[in-house]
Amino acid sequence: MTSPDTGPGTDPDTKPGNVVSADQEKRGLALHWKIVIGLGLGVLVGVALNRLWSDQTWASIGVNDAAAYLAGKTSDANSDAGAAAVAAKAAIKINWLAGKLFMSSLKFIAVPITLCALIVGVASLGDPRKLGRIGGRTIFLFVLTTVASIVIGLGISGVVKPGSFVDDATKTKLVSQRAAEAQKRVGAANEAKSFWDQAGAIVPDNPIAAMANTDMLQVVFIAVVIGAGLAALPRAKSAPVLAVLDALADAILLFVRWLMNLSPYAVFALMAPIVAGTGFDVLAALGVYAVCVVVGLAIVLLVVYPILLKLGTRSADRVGMSRFYRGMSPAMLVAFSSSSSNATLPVTMECSRDRLGVSEEITSFVCPLGATVNMNGTALYQAVAVTFLAQIFGVPLTITDQIAIVVMSTLSAIGTAGVPGASIVLIVMVLQAVHVPVEGIAILLAVDRVLDMCRTVVNITGDVAVATVVASREGQLGEPTDRS
């Protein structure tokens, strides 16, 4: 394995990661196991609340809409229900606060880490041709994996026909139950930027606005331009700026490490209210559809990515499935609990760089770009969801329609933001393209959160699979500095 060309100030011995991983070794149980335990306990507490607390129990402590309350969207109606009720509500609020603070901490890091690490990465590349080659390979692999995922989704829903398992009564009930929410999403979809508008917005009018709005595509553009500019300057002039940015990037990644130590608790805080607020009866009615999505996502994770790694990486690098998934596990677990590629980005980058050995420059180029445009899980989900609704509403899909789904799902997966529930809005465009009634998204909304968690895992894992292949091809896949 060649050692990566890691650029200025990226001497592995000076990485903050080394200090912490030595620390972690002393602590025994690996981080991903601690997160799994947090997640499992969160699910257990959530299921207990879901099953044991009836609507009356919630009403008795002054909560009318339990799901909204658990998600921190509404405050309590009254507090005169005694000490036990006050304590229960305080516990729920503290839990919500813990989850919120963790998510906000991750989100606020996403822009600065991308900016600092990518500027340093691009500046250290020096040669613009190298940047073009890395960019070309990255985009090619993004599109390839997205199309493969959509084809898998179409294949599964074509064979299983999940729509035929939903009877008319369930369909009518679900459509009417969530009609208002569905209407809101359709309205948002009508206001959403078209693909061409988005392509035109890659160059920001205002860099500060780009950063303030967390527009990662624009942030990547800013970083590449500044990095290329610094690379073209005489070394004596650019070195001080690069040294500052490099130190900042390391400091931020150290903060990510500290946050990761809290992640088992945070994952508990995020999972318990999600599970407690989930309608499991609906999950049963839409079970076959949900299973189709989950099986499709599993195929991408367990077949497509391993094949990509096997065929894409140089044989000397030997990135086996177990090494890859072990390295990715903290990011996958955070993605599952947060349903947000953007919020998971700092952890994704940490796993890519420190746990898999992808160089800083490839990590900081591919991961932020992927969090914005490479959504394989989302693409597969959209393909299954659209065919599922077409089956329910009896709309036949011709070969031309299926090709339209591949094209539209690819474009809309590129346009989907890395935030919870984002693809539901863009799915409207795909439905319109093949003339499936858009009010059908009310049915999808019923089980969206659970499927969102699963597809987000596939989204971020795809980014790092591509980063690993590109790094290997560039001779920039080194030894991981963190083997915890």
d(CA 382, CA 447): 14
At its nearest, how many Å lie between ligand ASP and the CB of residue 45? Answer: 23
420 binds ligand ASP (CB under 6 A): yes
Which region, judged by CB under 6 A, interacts with ligand ASP, from 62-70, 303-311, 387-395, 451-459?
Answer: 451-459
Name, in order, each residue with C-beta under 8 angstroms of 412's C-beta and a sequence gap of 6 or more: 382, 423, 426, 427, 429, 430
Which region, judged by CB under 6 A, interacts with ligand ASP, from 132-140, 274-282, 349-357, 449-457?
Answer: 449-457
Task: By CB under 6 A, name the one of 95, 218, 263, 459 that touches ligand ASP.
Answer: 459
At its nearest, how many Å lie between ligand ASP and the CB of residue 447? Answer: 13
Q: Which long-range contacts (CB under 8 A, 24 or more apart) does 332-336 make?
A: 332/457, 332/460, 332/461, 333/32, 333/35, 333/36, 333/39, 333/263, 333/267, 334/35, 334/106, 334/263, 334/267, 335/453, 335/456, 335/457, 335/459, 335/460, 335/461, 336/39, 336/453, 336/454, 336/456, 336/457
> Residue 58 or residue 336: which is nearer to ligand ASP going by CB?
336
> Residue 38 or residue 370: which is nearer to ligand ASP going by CB?
370
Q: Do residues 302 and 461 touch, judged by C-beta distance below 8 A?
A: no
At its nearest, how many Å lie between ligand ASP and the CB of residue 191? Answer: 17
Task: By CB under 6 A, name the one of 163, 418, 462, 480 that touches ligand ASP.
Answer: 418
Question: What are the φ and ψ backbone dihedral angles of 455, each rounded to 5 degrees?
Answer: -70, -30
> Residue 313 or residue 337: which is nearer to ligand ASP going by CB?
337
As beta bridge partners, residue 70 has: none
As beta bridge partners, residue 477 has: 358
**Cα-Cα-Cα-Cα dihedral of 110, 334, 469, 141, to 10°?**
-80
At its nearest, how many Å lie between ligand ASP and the CB of residue 294? Answer: 14
Site mask for ligand ASP (CB under 6 A), range 374-403, x = bound: -x--x-------------------------
368 binds ligand ASP (CB under 6 A): no
Q: Do residues 484 and 323 touch, judged by C-beta distance below 8 A?
A: no
At its nearest, how many Å lie between ligand ASP and the CB of residue 121? Answer: 23
264 binds ligand ASP (CB under 6 A): no
At its nearest, how many Å lie between ligand ASP and the CB of residue 331? Answer: 12
At its nearest, how many Å lie between ligand ASP and the CB of residue 338? Answer: 8
At its nearest, how many Å lie between ligand ASP and the CB of residue 372? Answer: 10
In the window 22-61, what residues touch ligand ASP (CB under 6 A)?
A: none
> Residue 337 or residue 472: which is nearer to ligand ASP going by CB?
337
d(CA 342, CA 250): 19
d(CA 45, CA 265): 13
Q: Count residues contacting ligand ASP (CB under 6 A)?
A: 16
Task: By CB under 6 A, name the one of 114, 149, 456, 484 that touches ligand ASP.
Answer: 456
416 binds ligand ASP (CB under 6 A): yes
CA neighbor of 78 nearest in space, from 65, 60, 55: 60
> Residue 76 or residue 181: which is nearer to ligand ASP going by CB?
181
Would you give the DSSP letter of residue 164?
G
149 binds ligand ASP (CB under 6 A): no
Task: By CB under 6 A, name the one of 293, 422, 467, 469 that touches ligand ASP.
Answer: 422
In the window 324-343, what residues touch ligand ASP (CB under 6 A)?
A: 339-341
Which region, judged by CB under 6 A, interacts with ligand ASP, from 122-130, 158-166, 428-436, 452-460?
Answer: 452-460
At its nearest, how many Å lie between ligand ASP and the CB of residue 281? Answer: 23
419 binds ligand ASP (CB under 6 A): yes
d(CA 313, CA 409): 28
CA atoms within 13 A on the CB side of 384: 29
d(CA 206, CA 211): 9
Name, in order, each residue with C-beta under 8 angstroms of 103's C-beta and a sequence gap of 6 or more: 266, 270, 338, 340, 343
At its nearest, how many Å lie between ligand ASP and the CB of residue 41? Answer: 23
14 to each of 21, 241, 365, 453, how far by Cα in Å? 13, 18, 21, 35
CB burial readout 338-349, b (16+ within 10 A) else e: bbbbbbbbbbbb
At its nearest, how many Å lie between ligand ASP and the CB of residue 44? Answer: 24
d(CA 484, CA 278): 33
452 binds ligand ASP (CB under 6 A): yes
CA neighbor of 333 nearest in space, from 484, 466, 457, 463: 457
At its nearest, how many Å lie between ligand ASP and the CB of residue 131? Answer: 26
> Residue 378 or residue 387: which is nearer to ligand ASP going by CB?
378
> Residue 95 or residue 337: which is nearer to ligand ASP going by CB?
337
> Residue 231 or residue 297: which is nearer to ligand ASP going by CB?
297
At its nearest, how many Å lie between ligand ASP and the CB of residue 181? Answer: 15
CB-neighbour burial class of residue 208 (10 A; exposed 0-12, middle 13-18, buried 19+): exposed
421 binds ligand ASP (CB under 6 A): yes
Binding footprint of ligand ASP on the chain (CB under 6 A): 339-341, 375, 378, 416, 418-423, 452, 455-456, 459
